Amino acid sequence: MSVATYSPEEKFRLGMLWTDSRYRSTTIQIIALFIVMLLGAYLINNIITNLAALGKDFNFSFLFEPAYYDINQRLIEYNSRSPHWMAAVVGILNTLLVAVLGCILATIIGVIAGVLRLSKNFVISRLMSVYIEVVRNIPLLLQILLLYAIFIEVLPRPRASEPMLDGMVVATNRGFYIPSLVLGETGWIVVATFLASLAAIWGFRRWAHKRQEETGQITPVFLISLAIFLVPTTVVFFALGSPISLETPELKGFNYQGGIHLRNSLVALWLALSIYTGAFIAEIVRSGIQAISKGQTEAAYALGLRPNRTMNLVILPQALRVIIPPLISQFLNLTKNSSLAIAVGYMDVTGTLGGITLNQTGREMECVLLLMAFYLTVSLTISAVMNKYNASVKLKER
């Protein structure tokens, strides 16, 4: 019996585009490409027809025309004669301001709440669970509006307000006033000294670390760092005759003058964002700490490490690997949520570019596109950084 072997010289048929798995994936993709292109063409065609019907065009020249509106909260020079793009930049800076402030405070709140939530102390851990559950289950917008309304309704008018902390801080229904730093003529020398000592601390730590690696001798890093941090700046400060002073807010007429004026909208937005995001961060911190098995602590103790070194050298490096990626995505959420500023009238980029500029110029498409481009840039930058970090701390398996 002979075995008939022959390789089928099948001729290509049109049906094989679908039935043969060699071609099917290509077919599907080409169909998908066609659908996407058709959809795109349809939408673009609609946009062109609609714009033509309304007598509008698509260009960005409006950005260079004067904005004719004021922004009360600004970090750079801006007045109502400035162009729209300046207004957008003021808005972007305001967004970044509240985002950075919020990320810092939210991390502080989150770490404290997360650690206390794990505490063996029954009362405090229950208290923290209540905080986390209540805040996480109530819409952020409601929390922002509530805080803002409380500030306006409950805080006293400037005339009736009582300065706190030796006249440094004043809380009124028009906002919070805190002291500002006034740099004298030689003030920059003090600032420069301070920056130099920060650099020196960094260099010193590196040197101490290297020395320990090579010789095994341990330098008292903390005390020396503290000395470098405090001594030179203080000496220079008094040697130059206190060239930096605090300007405290003073009641003049109906309002306070001097110091830094933090508007209620900024403070309400900042606190609400921090409290809300802090609750999420607390859960992240808790799960990060719980993810490290107890054996790690016990092994470190068995090696003779003291508790604080165990924390710094064994537990934290491992817990941070679990904590940091979701933490950064919380920062990203906070930045995106800061767009709720529009509800309390804080002039962030959604309020300027997506709010007043959009309404004044009637250029919805351009404004919304620019707005989305800004948020997308921020998000994609942060995710790129995060991917880099993830790759660098990934378990190196051998």
Partner 1 sequence: MTKDSSIAFVLKEPKEAEPAPIATTGALAWTRENLFSSRLNTALTILSLLFLAWMIPGLVQWTFVDAVWFANSIDECRQLSPGGACWAVITARFDQFMFGFYPEELRWRPVLAFVLLGVALLPVLWDAVPARKQLFFFSAIYPLVAFALLWGDGFIFERVNSSDFGGFLLTMIIGVTGISFSLPIGVLLALGRNSNLPFIKLICVTFIEFIRGVPLITLLFVASTLLNYLLPPGTNFDIILRVLIMVTLFASAYMAEVIRGGLAALSKGQYEAADALGLTYWQSMYLIILPQALKISIPGIVNTFIGLFKDTTLVSVIGLLDPLGIIQPILADSTWNGLVVELYAFVGLVFFVFCFAMSRYSMYLERKLSAGDRH
Q: Are 123 and 288 in contact (CB under 8 A)?
A: no
Q: Per rule CB under 8 A, is residue 199 in the interface with partner 1?
A: no
Q: Is 289 helix (H, G, I), strand (E, B) or coil?
A: helix
Which is nearer to partner 1, 128 or 266 (by Cβ)? 128
Tell me if 37 contacts partner 1 by CB under 8 A.
Answer: no
Q: How far is the CB of 379 from partner 1 (least distance, A)?
A: 4
Of 18 and 238, CB closest to partner 1: 18
Please enumerate, as own/partner, the contacts of 45-52 that have beta carbons within 8 Å and a separation of 24 or more. 47/365
Least distance (Å) from partner 1 to the CB of residue 262? 21
Q: How far is the CB of 375 from partner 1 (least distance, A)?
A: 5
Distance in angstroms (rounded) separating the CA atoms of residues 88 and 63: 9
Pick from 32, 192, 199, 239 the residue near partner 1 by CB under 8 A: 32
Residue 395 DSSP code: -
Of 13, 22, 81, 120, the residue at the interface with partner 1 (CB under 8 A) is: 120
* φ and ψ of 55, to 5 deg: 70, 30
Query: Sign of the C-alpha dihedral, residues 279, 374, 56, 39?
Result: negative
Amino acid, single-letter form, for residue 276: Y
> Among 100-108, 225-233, 240-248, 370-378, which window interacts with partner 1 (CB under 8 A)?
370-378
Is 117 in contact with 286 (CB distance < 8 Å)? yes
All residues at 6 or more sequence positions from 36 whose CB lies less than 8 Å from its CB, including other chains = none
Please identify which residue in the block is written with the tokens 């040197």.
207
Residues 289-348 within binding reach of partner 1 (CB under 8 A): 336-337, 339-340, 342-343
Question: Is residue 384 at the binding interface for partner 1, with CB under 8 A as the rule?
Answer: no
The site map against partner 1 for 40-79 (x = CB under 8 A) is: ---x--xx-xxx-x--------------------------
The yes or no reply on residue 20 touching partner 1 (CB under 8 A) is: no
Q: Tell which one of 16, 17, 118, 145 touches partner 1 (CB under 8 A).
A: 145
Beta carbon nearer to partner 1, 81 or 120: 120
Contact call for residue 165 and partner 1 (CB under 8 A): no
Pair of tokens at residue 296: 């790690």
Token couple for 304:
């003779």
* Residue 225 or 379 having the CB closest to partner 1: 379
Which of 61, 79, 80, 119 lies at the binding interface for partner 1 (CB under 8 A)? 119
Residues 6+ away with beta carbon under 8 Å from 211: 217, 219
Query: Binding to partner 1 by residue 149, rule CB under 8 A?
Result: yes
390-398's contacts with Cβ under 8 Å and 24+ in sequence apart are 390/325, 393/320, 393/321, 393/324
Backbone dihedral region for residue 266 (phi beyond 0: left; psi -120 to 50: alpha; all else: beta) = alpha
Q: Does 260 bind partner 1 (CB under 8 A)?
A: no
Segment interacting with partner 1 (CB under 8 A) among 3-11, 203-211, 284-292, 372-380: 372-380
CB 190 within 8 A of CB 245: no
Cα angle 81-82-85, degrees, rounded to a multiple of 5: 145
Q: Which residues bind partner 1 (CB under 8 A)?
A: 25, 28-29, 32-33, 36, 43, 46-47, 49-51, 53, 116, 119-124, 127, 133-134, 136-143, 145-146, 149-150, 153, 336-337, 339-340, 342-343, 350, 354, 358, 364-365, 368, 371-372, 375-376, 379-380
